[in-house]
Amino acid sequence: MTAPATHESLPQRSRLSLPAFIDGSLLTLVAGAVILWFAPVGMGRYGTYVLSLWLVMSVAVMGLNLTLGYAGLKSLAQAAFMGLGAYATAILTTKYGVSWYAAFALSGLLTFAVGLVLGFPALRVKAHYLAFVTLAFSTLIWLIMRNEQWLTGGVFGIANINRPEFFGIKLFGALEFHRFVVVVTFILAVLLWWMIRSPWGRAFTALRENPIRAASLGVDTRTYTLLAFAIGSAYAGFAGALYAPLVEFIDPSPFSLSQSFFLLLMVVAGGSGYLLGPFIGALLGVVLPEWLRFAGSLYLIIFATIVMLLLIACPQGVSGLLERGWAKVSGKAGARS
């Protein structure tokens, strides 16, 4: 993942992604959105809810994928950023009557700004040390969520968070809200797809592969490191803003440090640095345990075993495995999307 770029690999990447405006990733996103729009029909509220939860977690994982998978910054604060977004949305909509759309935007802005501030240490420290800085931040946010009861409801959380309306259509039903989540996730995923293909995305990847070389090529490493962190955090904020009305209740537990680790696992298991990796990772993290519930009390043990075996078999995650498979079938050398 952090291997230095070779002379061959960079031109090859640009050759693969340049020819057309539309590529396989975008087509998959469009097809996925269409399928997910209709998927819950006849599925029941439970299935619909799990699909929505999967998409919401995918948004948070997309952000972390940008920070870690593209820019190579190891962050352990993604769940904390998601918490910031969720609490901002919950507080603004329930206590101050702000519309969900404004709260969504403000949650994104807030997490972007905080991500920017937290990104500064990222300029000074690398790898494990950066992880420690974000770990401290994660604990700090969790303590604020739990202890500042006047604002956050403390351990009792915030209940009765309303779901938004869409041009007069109420989204209280599981199916209506699911479709809303599909649309928002699709927009956010396409934005990220565009960003990855833009010069920004190239700069992020260059940062991950070889920061010194990137700097020597004129990439402003300071700005791009900060941007990667801030945009990744903003995606967590957006995910939080969707999570609060989806569950209609929040307390500090889904935003603890262990959840940040879990999000990290989703990035790695899905395939870090692949655009569609977060969806696969979140599918593993959210849908697989639900599906394994038939196994009763053993379900978490089976889940952990599957994840471990998966990572032993394909350290690059499921996306890496698919890519290798595709390369074998088509007889081409694999390249990251």
Partner 1 sequence: MKSHWIIAAALSAGLTGQALAQDKVKLVDVVELSGAGATAGTNWKNGIDLAVADINAKGGILGKQIEIVHYDTQTNPGNTRAAVQRAIDEGTYAVLGPVFSGPIGASMQIAQRAEIAQLVGGEAAGLTMQGNKYLFRTSLSQTAAMPKIAAYLKNTVKAASVAVVWVNNDFGKGGRDAILPELEKAGIKVAVDVATEQGQADFAADAIKIKNANADAIFVYLNEEESARFLRAAKQQGITKPMVGETTLLGAKVIELAGDAANGVKGHVGLSIDAPIPAFQEFGKKFQAKYNYASDHNGLKGYMAVYMVKWATEKQKKFDKKGVADTLRGATIKPSEEPGILIETTIEQNGDLDRESFLAEVINGKQVISATLPKLKP
> Taking every pair of C-alpha atoms in the chain, what is the biggest distance, in angstroms?
61
Residues 123-152 that bind partner 1 (CB under 8 A): 146-147, 149
Least CB distance to partner 1 at residue 32 (A): 21
Give the binding range for partner 1 (CB under 8 A) out of 193-201, 270-278, 295-303, 305-313: 295-303
- Interhelix angle 257-270/44-64, rounded to 10 degrees, is 90
Site map for partner 1, 51-90, x if CB under 8 A?
--x-------------------------------------
Question: E-assigned strands of the chain?
Answer: 158-159, 165-166, 169-170, 249-250
Q: How many residues bind partner 1 (CB under 8 A)?
A: 31
Least CB distance to partner 1 at residue 261 (A): 13
Choose, by CB under 8 A, the member of 249, 261, 306, 310 that binds partner 1: 249
φ/ψ of residue 165, rounded to 5? -105, 155
Cα–Cα nearest to 80, from 69, 92, 67: 67
Distance separating alpha carbons of residues 125 and 26, to the nearest angstrom: 35
**Is-contact 156 217, C-beta < 8 A?**
no
Least CB distance to partner 1 at residue 156 (A): 6
Choose, by CB under 8 A, the member of 15, 35, 38, 45 that binds partner 1: 45
Residue 248: strand, helix, or coil: coil
Q: Is 162 in the site for partner 1 (CB under 8 A)?
A: no
Give the binding range for partner 1 (CB under 8 A) out of 99-107, 156-164, 175-183, 225-233: 156-164
Q: Is 247 in the site for partner 1 (CB under 8 A)?
A: yes
| 66-84 burial code (b ≥16 CB/10 A, e <16) | bbbbbbbbbbbbbbbbbbb
**Is-contact 238 108, C-beta < 8 A?**
yes
Q: Is 274 in the site for partner 1 (CB under 8 A)?
A: no
Q: Is 160 in the site for partner 1 (CB under 8 A)?
A: yes
Q: Is 290 in the site for partner 1 (CB under 8 A)?
A: yes
φ/ψ of residue 125, rounded to 5? -120, 160
Least CB distance to partner 1 at residue 60 (A): 12
Distance separating alpha carbons of residues 86 and 242, to the nearest angstrom: 7
Least CB distance to partner 1 at residue 100 (A): 18
Distance separating alpha carbons of residues 224 and 252, to the nearest angstrom: 31
70 vs 243 by CB, closer to partner 1: 243
- CB-based contacts of 24, cutoff 8 Å, min separation 6: 337
14 vs 147 by CB, closer to partner 1: 147
Choose, by CB under 8 A, the member of 34, 300, 302, 304 that binds partner 1: 300
Choose, by CB under 8 A, the member of 27, 159, 169, 183 that binds partner 1: 159
Q: Is 298 in the site for partner 1 (CB under 8 A)?
A: no
Distance separating alpha carbons of residues 222 and 119, to the nearest angstrom: 9
Q: Is 237 in the site for partner 1 (CB under 8 A)?
A: no
Q: Is 94 in the site for partner 1 (CB under 8 A)?
A: no
- How many CB atoms sit inside 10 A of residue 1's CB? 14
Which positions touch partner 1 (CB under 8 A)? Answer: 44-47, 49-50, 53, 146-147, 149, 154-157, 159-160, 243, 246-251, 253-254, 290, 293, 296-297, 299-300
